Amino acid sequence: MPVACDPFLCVQGLGKTYAERRWWGGSRSGKTALEDVSFHLEKGRTLGLVGASGSGKSTLARALALFEPPTSGAIRIGGRNLWSLGGAERRRARAEVQLIFQEPAASLNPGFTAAQIVEEPLVIQRWGTRQARREKACGWLQMVGLPRQSAGKPALHFSGGERQRLAIARALILEPKLLLLDEAFSGLDLSIQAQIESLLAGLRSRLGLTCILISHDLRAVARLADEIAVMDSGRIVEHGATADLAARAQHPRTRELLEASLALSLDGTLS
């Protein structure tokens, strides 16, 4: 489907095939994780990316966050093709796309204090003076609902939900244009999950964030996303507004996911 590149985020024909290396140094193609993925997203909207394990969602997230180069296709934010940027430009571009991972215990350095974790992106981008960075980090701690006094506490003294808040603060301190959340809510207790979701919803509207939520859980995504894309075996098989998808799922994969998610909800609805 031809895609105009006016919208904020434009992904075209993205493909990723892992190469298997041979012992003499050559390579042959191995696993195909993404195949011809195309979609676009308007500024300020939230896209939910769902699919079973192995469908390619995390690979897509890593390509979007500039972690792993795709083998084909382009990712454009505001018209610029991210992967074709050179050194310094790309470093600045990394600041524009931030990724939050699933395991807050694993993605935060347990020895660092809360303030060190949150101000780290500022340090990397060489922003401001030490005072200014510390001030900004403390400000963000408050924005995510953590007390200012906890700035000096090492990360391992925080609970799972609190660590996820730190991860959010760290991700947003550079005011990125695009926020990616890769299974960021699974594994948290449901009450904590609800709190983090409302925190995110609040920040999103305040900062006008564009978000992509990646999950295998349709319900978690349905609550926050404006539109949903379903992935299967490296391709996007369905993409539409959340309400439409819930009511009239077309692709069998979507229906499978929908049924499974509904089966696991207490009240038989998606929200």
Partner 1 sequence: MKYLIRRLADSLLLLAALSVVSFVFAQLAPGDYFSELGTDPRFSTETVAALRAQAGLDRPLPVRYAKWVRSCIRGDLGYSLAYNSPVAPLLWQRIPATLLLTATATFLAWLLAVPIGIWNATVRGTWGDRVSQLIWAVLLTIPELVLAIVLLVLAAESGWFPAGGMRSAGFSAMDRWAQARDLAWHLALPAAVLVLGMLPVLVRHVRASMLDAIDSPFALSARAHGIPRGRLLFRHLLPAAMNPLVSLLGFSLGTLLSASLLVEVVMGWPGLGPLFLEAVAARDFALVLAVVMFSATFLVAANLAADLLLYRLDPRIRTE
Partner 2 sequence: MSEAALAVEHLCIEWMKARNTAIPIVSDVSFRIESGAIAGLFGESGCGKTTLAMALLKLLPHGRYHAEGSVRIGGREIRSLGEREMERIRGADVSVVFQDPGLSLNPVMRVRHQVGEVVRAHRGAASPAELLELAGLPSSDRILNAYPHQLSGGERQRVAIAQALACQPRLVIADEPFTALDAIRVVELIDLFRGHREKLGTAFLVISHHPGILARVADQMLLMRGGTILSGGPPRDVFRNTKALPWGNARGV
Q: Binders of partner 2 among 221-260, rule CB under 8 A?
A: 223, 256-257, 259-260
Q: Binders of partner 2 among 24-53, rule CB under 8 A?
A: 52-53
DSSP-based helix, strand, coil % in the chain, nearest 5 = 40, 25, 30
Q: In whole angstroms, what is the distance from residue 255 CA to residue 16 CA? A: 26
> Is 51:230 a contact under the CB 8 Å cutoff?
yes
Cβ 104 to partner 2, closest distance in Å? 12
Binds partner 2 by CB under 8 A, chosen from 187, 201, 226, 237: 187
Coil, strand or helix at 223? helix
Residue 43's binding partner among partner 2, partner 1, none (Cβ under 5 to 8 angstroms by kind) is none
Q: Which two tokens stand for residue 180?
A: 């990616």
| Strand-by-strand arrangement of the 27-41 sheet | 27-41, 9-21, 72-77, 80-81
> Is 186:238 a contact under the CB 8 Å cutoff?
no
The reply on whether position 103 binds partner 2 by CB under 8 A is no
Residue 77 or 258 with smaller CB distance to partner 2 = 258
The reply on whether position 106 binds partner 2 by CB under 8 A is no
Residue 21 or 90 with smaller CB distance to partner 1 = 21
Binding site for partner 2 (CB under 8 A): 52-54, 159-160, 186-187, 189-195, 197, 216-220, 223, 256-257, 259-261, 263-267, 271
